[in-house]
Structure 1
Amino acid sequence: MNEVLSQNEIDNLLSAISTGDMEPAATDTSSEDTFDKTLTKSSVKMYDFKRPDKFSKDQIRTLQMMHETYARLTTTSLSAQLRAVVNVHVASVDQLTYEEFSRSIPNPTTLAIINMDPLKGSAIMEIDPTITFAIIDRLFGGEGEALKQNRELTDIELSVIEGIIVRILGNLRESWSNVIDLRPRLGNIETNIQFAQIVPPNDMVVLITLETKIGDVEGMMNFCIPYITIESIISKLSAQFWYSSIRKGGSSENLDLIREQLKEIDIDLTAEIGTVTMTMSDILQIKKNDVINLNKNMNTEFTLKIANRKKFLCRPGQVGSRVAVQVVRQIEELSEKILSEIISEENHHE
């Protein structure tokens, strides 16, 4: 137990200190110095109380994995519809306020308001003008070039891009299927963010940015989801839950969808009537009305190629006013004997 000093003892101590007979105890600052050095050496992250983090790192990673699936499906569906080389991949997944998102997008742009049934609330899919006009140009028969100067969409262009958005929303449903049976519906399309205030400015949202390339044109698609929209399923946005759902059969559903989408891709078929080898000197002398003898006659079966790969043997013919071919059989099903006969016949004609 600490002893209580009497008044006389207190007076004697004060007198000794004032005359220099006793030094005051030194203040222990070692712990403070250590604390200051720790702050200096370590990285300190500022916390903004105006925009508190709503999503954990695990939830952000899960959203990224979900939308990587969406990006792959969208790559396939857009490639089939535009008949062009399309590449879509996730560039980033961030959380920010809706006001920050609003300030980051151009005006005008394409803003699709999406009803996230059965979740409460809406989300926004923003397609920047570079990608929007490249899609429109491609569907209208062009090369898929972007406009040099941004402008508003016409009514016809708006209708065309609406069809594209509805199509790729199906991919969104598939990519979320391991978490929830999402049924996204297109509400309306705006071109000005002021008319697309789905949540208050200070509300937190997660922004999935998809880097999109159509031919030589590059741009962004942004998917903005408010926290309040997915708050009811936030516990399911974990890698453990997502992977466990995949093991229950989600991956087979993805494969079925990809197979269905692949059926819509256009593939070139080429009927190779015959070939001939010529010297460069002969080629340079070719002129109008010259006749070039091929290595086959009219009664010989020739090759039908699919994507530049030999697949069928065919015979030439005519249907109405058009030249046609009749498929005889698949090359893979030919026996060694038949193949040798065909090769022998071709060598004979040479």
Structure 2
Amino acid sequence: MNVITTENLNGFFIVVFDAKIVFCALESVFGGSDVSAPRIEGREFTKIELYVIKKLADIFSNEMEKAWTPVYRITCKYSRSEMNPNYVTMVSQEEIVSICQFSFNIENVSGWMKICIPYGILETIKDYLTSTPSREGLEMRHKWIEKMKEEVMNVPLDIRVTLGKKRISLKDFLGAKEDTIIMVDRSVNDPVDIMIGGKAKLKGRLGILKGSKAVQIEGTI
């Protein structure tokens, strides 16, 4: 549980990272070669781990400031981390809060991040939140959308071509040698599956282009 202060809004909000995401980040930072489901032992974080969590909270604070810029400029600053929620008195039990949850996937580990914002903070700027966007705000929104599209289009994709499949027994697999021929479920002239992100998305046909092996897309699956 991380406390983030907001000077412009005269208050603070809480950011909570799923422990699985925190441990996966720590594993990557400290040289882990494979991100796997961590063992959460119910212990408190060490000083080194808390330092890494603070860095994550600092990154979150910077991104929060950028996200709020089109609506209202705020200044976010990491204050402290608490393992015991009883030590953080945010609002009274009767007060309304806004909770936003985001999901993350790091290879085969899924987790979340939650942001808790008291309604009292939002009430001080409700005129900015409910007013009609200005021309400048609309232009900023358009630029932001175009930038997001550009970033999404530049995401690298892992593309693989499946030539064929065959199910064999362990005995046959262990008995395979250098010259062993394995018959697959397709002939040479059959179209092949083009895998994107581990899933078959396109159909294609093998060939050669400028001296290199290539695949010509013939349709979608």
TM-score range, shorter chain: 0.5 to 0.7
Distance 2:51 2:115 in 1: 20
Q: How is 1:1-350 mapped onto 2 (pairs within 5 angstroms)?
A: 111-142=1-32, 143-145=34-36, 146-238=38-130, 241-242=132-133, 246-252=137-143, 284=178
* Equivalent position SS for 1:150: coil
* Equivalent position SS for 1:210: strand
Question: Per-residue deviation at 1:185?
Answer: 0.9
Distance 1:234 1:125 in 2: 22
* Equivalent position SS for 1:237: helix
Which residues of structure 1 form unaligned runs of 5+? 1-110, 267-282, 286-342
* TM-score normalised by structure 1 residue count: 0.40
1:232–1:247 CA distance, 2 compared to 1 (3 A)? same
* Equivalent position SS for 1:180: coil
Distance 2:149 2:4 in 1: 23
Tell me if structure 1 keeps the 8 A contact 2:70–2:140.
no
1:252–1:234 CA distance, 2 compared to 1 (3 A)? same
Distance 2:145 2:55 in 1: 22
Query: Which entry has the higher C-alpha Rg, 1 or 2?
Result: 1
Tell me if structure 2 keeps the 8 A contact 1:178–1:246.
yes
Tell me if structure 1 keeps the 8 A contact 2:2–2:15.
yes
Q: Which whole-Å deviations, capped at 9, do the CAs of 1:166-191 have from their partners, x for residues lacking one?
A: 11222111211121011111111111
Bigger proportion of residues as helix: 1
1:152–1:214 CA distance, 2 compared to 1 (3 A)? same
Distance 2:108 2:43 in 1: 21
After the TM superposition, which segments of 4 or more aligned residues of structure 1 sit over 4 Å from their partners? Answer: 242-245, 253-260
Q: Which whole-Å deviations, capped at 9, do the CAs of 1:197-251 have from their partners, x for residues lacking one?
A: 122232210001112221111122110000111211112223x635866413244
* Equivalent position SS for 1:213: strand
Q: Which whole-Å deviations, capped at 9, do the CAs of 1:94-122 have from their partners, x for residues lacking one?
A: xxxxxxxxxxxxxxxxx111112311110
Tell me if structure 1 keeps the 8 A contact 2:19–2:40.
no
1:153–1:235 CA distance, 2 compared to 1 (3 A)? same
**What is the one-letter code of the residue matched to 2:140?**
G
Distance 1:258 1:113 in 2: 32
Tell me if structure 2 keeps the 8 A contact 1:129–1:150.
no
**What is the one-letter code of the residue matched to 1:247?**
L
Distance 1:149 1:242 in 2: 48
**What is the one-letter code of the residue matched to 1:124?**
I
1:123–1:133 CA distance, 2 compared to 1 (3 A)? same
Which residues of structure 2 form unaligned runs of 5+? 157-176, 180-209, 213-221
Distance 2:136 2:85 in 1: 36
Tell me if structure 2 keeps the 8 A contact 1:208–1:222.
yes
Question: Per-residue deviation at 1:123?
Answer: 0.4
**What is the one-letter code of the residue matched to 1:127?**
F
Tell me if structure 1 keeps the 8 A contact 2:71–2:129.
yes
- Cα RMSD between the aligned structures? 3.5
Tell me if structure 2 keeps the 8 A contact 1:174–1:254.
no
Tell me if structure 2 keeps the 8 A contact 1:177–1:250.
no
* TM-score normalised by structure 2 residue count: 0.62
